[in-house]
Structure 1
């Protein structure tokens, strides 16, 4: 009885769906986190009768065939790169992107990685770094005697230096965009890596060519909606229970046939 195997694929799919939802809820307060959604596709079909073929010689065409589905499978876990709300922190090192774009980060081995989480700080050399100590690119160095520094919406970085009337220009923060944000590979620590699916990064200035602007003293919150996740959780639970019920029913039907054959 194929119903047992079909329902088993349904339970496996809902288990995967539950794991995705659980990860979304766990990262409810993760800076810059993008919720994920499980995508499913149906499996191959067993064809008992083809449509569109003659029923008999010199007769009409069969309008509808008979195909039996064999279940469901997980096709992808898609990160939904929608804008999260901006939360004020009052920390001048915190930067948020309002709109599209990514910060460039220098990974441990020199690889360029990407993030939306702008919880930055300064290291001992005055370089702007992530909470893991990775440098933000292009490298910005704040002088040790700087009283404060400012990042405007266009990514220009200035510092107020004692004895100078005008703020010192420390450099320009750029953002990058991808043709397919969902194609980026998540690495953990709020970092993503470029892949063949994402396309090559296109660098530009904040606020130009579709890139977002930079807001200093803010962080982008997770885009997870708790109400939506609870709704999805209930739906996954009901789907799992229904597939379990199918297995129970199929087993009972098989038992009935077995008993009648004795």
Structure 2
């Protein structure tokens, strides 16, 4: 009997997860470098079921499906559209599956597509959350950044100088399986066994994408797609809820008849 309820219950869990993913995606529609998430569904393995009939032998064992379950949460790691900001320290990555490398205040290494960088009180380039670029880049006192080249070279003018000089260089990381990255909050990801170790390289070389200075990457959330998914998930949730209700009514009638 429990298996009869499993299909509807599994369906409710999956559709609720889809609704949660849509809500999170839409909430981050304007978040720089945000990658839309989607819930991947897989079929549950069928379970054997033996049906007995009154006054006779049981029917042969049959296999009853139990619906679907959550196979995982995947993300759309395709690059978003670069949006100009005019700030040379706003940097967009012009290619997929590649990330800026960050070091958190507690020493953890994380990865992000959000290229909003600013110098802190010591001149180190950090994100709005306080994570610093890795390897660390420190601007000389009084330096004014003029450009980040497509190859990641940070050019700045120094006090008393006319021509800009290189004061640091941004490196990027990529993974054999970016879908294996674990969300670490605040638009950041952490490497896992599933993602594989990071491969660090120079923008514009060895297959790494170039950078665009003075621009930030838009999110990959497609509002029309999210609204379509929302409608599908709501309808599927309703169907599963009604199936459970109908089954409950049938079981109730069977109990009354037997009584």
TM-score (norm 2): 0.89
- Aligned twin of 1:68: 64
Kindly state the Cα deviation for residue 43 of structure 1 after the two structures are TM-superposed.
Answer: 2.0
Whether the aligned pair in 2 keeps the contact of 1:205 and 1:211 (CA below 8 Å) is yes
**For residues 68 and 4 of structure 1, what CA distance do their matches in structure 2 show?**
11
Q: Is residue 2:107 matched to residue 1:106? A: no
| Offset of residue 66 of structure 1 | 4.2
- For structure 1, the 5+ residue unaligned runs are 50-64
Supply the distance in 1 between the matched residues of 2:162 and 2:140 (Cα, whole angstroms): 16
Aligned residues between the structures: 247
Q: Which residue of the partner structure matches residue 131 of structure 2?
A: 134
How far does the alpha carbon of each residue in 1:220-246 deviate from its partner, in whole angstroms, 9 at most, with x for none? 111001110010000000001111111
What are the Cα deviations for residues 166-225 of structure 1, in whole angstroms up to 9, with x where unaligned?
A: 322212211111101111111111211111111111111101222111111111111001
Indicate the residue corresponding to 2:249 in structure 1: 252
Shift of 1:260: 3.5
Partner of 1:232: 229
1:145 Cα deviation after fit: 2.1
Q: Is 1:12 aligned to residue 13 of structure 2?
A: yes
Matches within 5 A, 1:120-159: 120-159=117-156
SS of the residue 2:22 aligns to: helix
Unaligned runs of 5+ in 2: 51-60
Contact 1:142 1:149 in 2 (8 A): no
Q: How does 1:1-262 map to 2 (within 5 A)?
A: 1=1, 2-47=3-48, 66-100=62-96, 101-262=98-259
Aligned to 1:60: none
2:92 is paired with a residue whose SS is: strand
Mapped to 2, the partners of 1:147 and 1:222 lie a distance apart of: 29
Shift of 1:146: 2.3
Distance 1:190 1:260 in 2: 57
Deviation at 1:148, TM superposition (A): 3.4
Task: Please say if residues 89 and 148 of structure 2, whose CA atoms lie closer than 8 Å, have aligned partners that are also in contact.
Answer: no
Distance change >3 Å, CA 174–CA 255, structure 1 → 2: same
